[in-house]
């Protein structure tokens, strides 16, 4: 935060807290169980995409990290009102770990490719689809295979069930983030 005025710091921290709150609110929507794997379809991962797109790698990581820390402490803020440290070593632990890394990945790519510029919307969409959805679902599937003693190809194939919904959530996140950034200065370099 060197070189930042107090006012800018307060603005960034307020925006970060608001995005953490948004991730929590998205968890109010209960997950849809799939039956064949112990991982539900949820809305909350859209909040992770939004954190990365609105706040960039540094504050996006702070927003997601704060959310995960509160969940680990036992606050019932994961979809379906779950929380507690045990969730992090359960079947969905890989997705949660990937959520923490996603803002660095997405934020860095957005910055390096100038994808936040108005005409580069398709780059932003591709980054969220690949570095957000692809990365999170693959890390999640790998951990799921290890944790649940499932063959990796089966875990990866099962995750295909998330792709249609995730593509819709990722696309919505890009549309929303672009609209929000056009009216609120989040200070993320294009």
Write out the residues near ligand BTN by the rule CB under 6 A.
Answer: 39, 41-42, 45, 78-79, 87, 92, 95-96, 136-137, 140, 162, 165-166
Rounded CA gap, 91 and 87, in Å?
8
Contact 125, 167 (CB under 8 A): no
Q: In the bound complex, what is the minimum distance in angstroms from residue 48's beta carbon to ligand BTN?
A: 8
Name the residue with the smallest CB distance to ligand BTN.
92
Q: In the bound complex, what is the minimum distance in angstroms from residue 131's beta carbon to ligand BTN?
A: 13
Contact 92, 52 (CB under 8 A): no
Rounded CA gap, 68 and 138, in Å?
19
Q: In the bound complex, what is the minimum distance in angstroms from residue 189's beta carbon to ligand BTN?
A: 28
Specify the 3-state DSSP secondary structure of 78: strand
Residue with smaller CB distance to ligand BTN, 53 or 137: 137
DSSP structure string for 116-161: TSGGGHHHHHHHIIIIIIIHHHHHHHHHHHHHTT--HHHHHHHGGG
Q: In the bound complex, what is the minimum distance in angstroms from residue 69's beta carbon to ligand BTN?
A: 15
**Cα 85 to Cα 54, 56, 140, 146, distances in angstroms:** 28, 27, 17, 18
- The token pair at 45 is 């991962």
Residue with smaller CB distance to ligand BTN, 104 or 167: 167
Q: In the bound complex, what is the minimum distance in angstroms from residue 3's beta carbon to ligand BTN?
A: 36
Q: How many CB atoms lie within 10 A of CB 82?
A: 17
Residue with smaller CB distance to ligand BTN, 37 or 188: 37
Residue with smaller CB distance to ligand BTN, 12 or 169: 169
Residue with smaller CB distance to ligand BTN, 13 or 138: 138
Q: In the bound complex, what is the minimum distance in angstroms from residue 105's beta carbon to ligand BTN?
A: 15
- The token pair at 127 is 């980054």
Residue with smaller CB distance to ligand BTN, 41 or 101: 41
Polymer length in residues for the chain = 190
């Amino acid at each position: 935060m060197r070189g930042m005025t107090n006012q800018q710091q307060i603005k960034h921290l307020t925006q970060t807290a608001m995005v953490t709150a948004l991730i929590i609110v998205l968890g109010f929507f209960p997950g849809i169980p799939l039956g064949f794997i112990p991982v539900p379809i949820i809305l909350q991962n859209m909040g992770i995409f939004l954190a990365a797109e609105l706040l960039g790698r540094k504050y996006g990581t702070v927003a997601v990290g704060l959310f995960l820390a509160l969940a680990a402490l036992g606050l019932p803020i994961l979809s379906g009102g779950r929380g507690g440290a045990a969730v992090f070593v359960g079947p969905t632990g890989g997705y949660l770990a990937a959520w923490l890394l996603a803002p660095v990945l997405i934020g860095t790519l957005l910055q390096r490719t100038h994808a936040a510029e108005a005409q580069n919307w398709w780059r932003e969409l591709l980054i969220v689809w690949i570095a957000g959805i692809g990365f999170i679902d693959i890390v999640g599937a790998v951990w799921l295979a290890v944790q649940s003693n499932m063959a990796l190809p089966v875990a990866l194939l099962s995750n295909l069930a998330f792709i249609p919904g995730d593509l819709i959530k990722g696309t919505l996140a890009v549309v929303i983030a672009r609209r929000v950034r056009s009216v609120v200065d989040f200070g993320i370099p294009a």
